[in-house]
Homo-oligomer: A and B are copies of this chain.
Amino acid sequence: MKKAISSAVIRRLPKYLRYLTALHEQGEERISSQKLSVITGFTASQIRQDLNHFGGFGQQGYGYNVQSLREQIIHIIGLDRPHRVAIAGAGHLGVALANADIFNENRFHLEALFDIRPECIGKQIAGAEVYSVSEMETVLREKQIEILTITTPRDVAQELADRAVEAGVRGIWNYAQTDLHLPHGIVLENVYLNESLFTLVYYMGNWKDYKGFEE
């Protein structure tokens, strides 16, 4: 079987996509790994290696076609397919994510939110209804939700994840500050905001260790 592509490569794809989209909007037709290197800060060699994991998208002597490479990366990530999403927890963070550009661009469709607080239930947020958590499995199944975003307090996150998986959800986007355990075949992506803030604070106290983009 083909060797798995390392997650370091995967996590660079969104960045390539972002810059290619910008270049496309600026009307650029072609780009070399050398020029992309200057823009992204990755080495030209790394860029060529990364892209070659997925196929030979370039042409010797020419470089890469911006628009076609952009479409390839959209396809590789899976952004050319629709994704049905729900959010558990209609608090500040849940509402912020519901209204974020992420779910409006890129073929993501926010289908439902869930909360336990009676005063939230029935409201419309970013075009989606807030349902009671007690109805979660039913709604997830009916609307064929693929991805559940968890923004609840950490003590209920595991239970909600388990129930969502039971109801057919295949990806969990977890903002609750806890490590979830999920069955084989279910994908988990954590966003631990405090880990990011703590890293910032560490480097503020030890900035000689910090290697950032400088100018």
| Residues of chain A at the chain B interface (Cβ within 8 Å) | 1, 4-5, 7, 10-11, 13-15, 17-18, 76-79, 81, 83, 91-93, 95-97, 99-102, 106, 108, 146-147, 170-171, 173, 177, 179-189, 191-215
What residues of chain B lie closer than 8 Å to A180, measured between beta carbons? 213
Partner of A204, one of B92, B170, B215: B170
Q: Can you list 27 contacts pairing A with B, beta carbon distance less than 8 Å?
A: A1-B214, A4-B211, A4-B212, A5-B209, A7-B211, A10-B199, A14-B194, A14-B198, A14-B199, A77-B198, A77-B201, A79-B198, A92-B92, A93-B96, A93-B100, A101-B177, A102-B194, A106-B194, A108-B197, A171-B200, A171-B204, A181-B213, A182-B212, A182-B214, A187-B207, A188-B213, A189-B203
What residues of chain B lie closer than 8 Å to A184, measured between beta carbons? 213-214
Copies in the complex: 2
What residues of chain B lie closer than 8 Å to A199, measured between beta carbons? 7, 10-11, 14, 189
Separation in Å of the A201 CB from the closest CB of chain B? Answer: 5
What residues of chain B lie closer than 8 Å to A77, measured between beta carbons? 198, 201-202
Q: Known contacts A14-B195, A189-B199, A204-B146; decide if A179 and B213 are in contact (CB<8 Å).
A: yes
What residues of chain B lie closer than 8 Å to A81, measured between beta carbons? 205
Q: Is the CB of A196 within 8 A of B200?
A: no
Complex CA–CA separation, A198 to B14 (angstroms): 7
Separation in Å of the A202 CB from the closest CB of chain B? Answer: 5
Q: Known contacts A99-B92, A194-B14, A196-B189; decide if A83 and B201 are in contact (CB<8 Å).
A: yes
